[in-house]
Amino acid sequence: MTHETPAQTATEVADRRRRFTGAATQLGTEVSINLGSSLAGLVIPIVGSFVVVTVRQLVMLVAVLPFYRPKRAELTWRRLWPALALGVVLAVMNLAFYESVHLLGLGIAATIEFLGPLGLALATSRRLLDVVCALAAGAGVVLLIGPGSSDASAIDPWGVALALTAAVAWAAYIVLTRRVAVGLPGLEGLTVASIVSLVLLLPFAIATFDADALDWRVVWLLLGIGVLCSALPYSLDTFILRRITPRLFAVITSFGPVIAAVFGFLVLSETFTPTEVIAIAIVCGAAGTAIATQRERPKSDLEHTAEGMA
């Protein structure tokens, strides 16, 4: 029979508190992102998707550039090209998603977009359970956009295509972010990607910008979207991942479509049929099951040391 020392008990309490803080913060960032996306649904009909995404990237760049300014001497082509590609993916992902929100509604668009990271997570798996989860998620999306989901006019085929484009771009974003993190330290790669994304979007934003539609309410909404969707979540990700495992991070993220549906209802007055509610629950349940049952890699001594310093 083993007896825990007071020091061991204190360490376990501190670990539990750290994990709780990390999980609560991650849930907060999911709320932040989806609240910002719901605000985008209010502004897009006024100023257009290009302007909304451009302002979001501008706010992100202002937030990270002063602290993570890339060193020109280290920006060789070999290290830089993944960040350049990430900038293109960021522009495509955000633009396609916001336009799909405009056409489909936030709850449906967010659920379809989540197929990207879910598909990436399951792509290399050989477990029968993961195959079942993938089939269930696909069935959920078919229910969501099928004939019985809502009025036929509510399911725009172009909106579905854009949401699927955002899903593919999200998967590419995950792959490229890992590559960028290896090549460029800190958030320098994300800074470069934000610059590229902004340069790509700015000409279209200027071309579609209508100054008569702009007032202080719209300006504050645009700034709020930038903070809620980009600056705040990105700045907190490092804090979160030092306190919870990547698996728990992914499990919490898998409930994003449910949070999106809630804000779609509260902010955008979206309504969901019982079939759509069931479909969203199936997708989130399949994702949560697939991720939560993954076997975690044992932590190294270095990782344990890093957690203790967080």
Tell me whether residue 209 is in a domain. yes
Count of the separate structural domains present in the chain: 1
Instruction: Provide the residue count of the chain.
Output: 310
Tell me whether residue 5 is in a domain. no
Tell me whether residue 7 is in a domain. no
Let me know: does 241 contact 249? Beta carbons within 8 Å.
Answer: yes
Q: What is the structure's pLDDT at 129?
A: 81
Which ranges of 65-208 would DSSP assign to H, the alpha helix? 77-104, 106-113, 115-123, 128-145, 157-183, 188-208
On the 0-12 / 13-18 / 19+ scale of CB atoms within 10 A, 29 is: buried
Q: What is the structure's pLDDT at 168?
A: 93
Range of the domain at 145: 26-309
Tell me whether residue 175 is in a domain. yes
Please give the Cα distance from 82 to 239 (Å, whole number): 24
Please give the Cα distance from 55 to 48 (Å, whole number): 11
Residue 207 exposure: Cα atoms within 13 Å on the Cβ side: 6
Let me know: does 25 contact 239? Beta carbons within 8 Å.
Answer: yes
Q: What is the structure's pLDDT at 181?
A: 67
Tell me whether residue 16 is in a domain. no
Let me know: does 113 contact 176? Beta carbons within 8 Å.
Answer: no
Helix (H) or strand (E) holding 156: none
Please give the Cα distance from 62 to 52 (Å, whole number): 16
Let me know: does 103 contact 156? Beta carbons within 8 Å.
Answer: yes
pTM value?
Answer: 0.80
Tell me whether residue 4 is in a domain. no
Please give the Cα distance from 157 to 114 (Å, whole number): 18
Tokens describing residue 97: 């998603």
Tell me whether residue 104 is in a domain. yes
Tell me whether residue 280 is in a domain. yes
CA angle (117 as vertex; 114, 123 as ends), nearest 5: 125
Tens digit of pLDDT at every position of the chain (310 positions): 555 566 556 677 777 787 778 778 888 888 999 999 999 999 999 999 999 999 988 988 887 777 666 666 566 666 778 888 988 998 999 999 999 999 988 998 999 988 888 887 777 677 788 788 888 888 888 888 776 555 545 578 899 999 999 999 988 887 887 777 666 665 677 778 888 999 999 999 999 988 888 889 999 999 999 999 888 887 676 567 667 766 677 777 778 888 999 999 999 988 888 888 888 998 888 887 877 776 655 444 433 433 433 3
